[in-house]
């Protein structure tokens, strides 16, 4: 799951997502992927609109904090 600045990178939103996902019987694990700008250049090259307004990248420490929301609900992370 991507972690994107100003979209889902706050504790309350991540806790709500973790709660929802933990109820899904067919989810074996969750992978949190910090947003990066790699796709922006590709979108510009092919003339597509880049969907994320923010240029902010998510620090690893923030992703680790969000992982705990899933772990607290008994979910496996990869």
pTM, entire model: 0.79
**DSSP, res 30:** B
- Segment 42-68, tens digit of pLDDT: 888 898 877 777 767 888 889 999 999
Domain ranges of the chain: 2-71
Q: What percent of the chain has pLDDT over 90?
A: 58
Instruction: Please name every residue paired with 77 in a beta bridge, in sequence order, or none if there are none.
Output: 30
How far apart are the C-alpha atoms of 71 and 46, rounded to whole Å?
Answer: 39
- Angle 16-40-58 (CA atoms, 0-180°, nearest 5)? 40
DSSP 78: -
């Amino acid at each position: 799951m991507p972690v994107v600045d100003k979209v889902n990178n706050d504790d309350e939103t991540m806790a709500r997502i973790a709660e929802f996902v933990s109820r899904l019987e067919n989810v074996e694990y969750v992978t949190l992927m910090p947003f990066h700008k790699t796709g922006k250049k590709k979108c510009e090259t092919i003339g597509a609109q880049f969907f994320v307004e923010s240029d902010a990248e998510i620090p690893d420490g923030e992703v680790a904090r969000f992982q705990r929301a899933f772990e607290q609900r008994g979910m496996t992370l990869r």
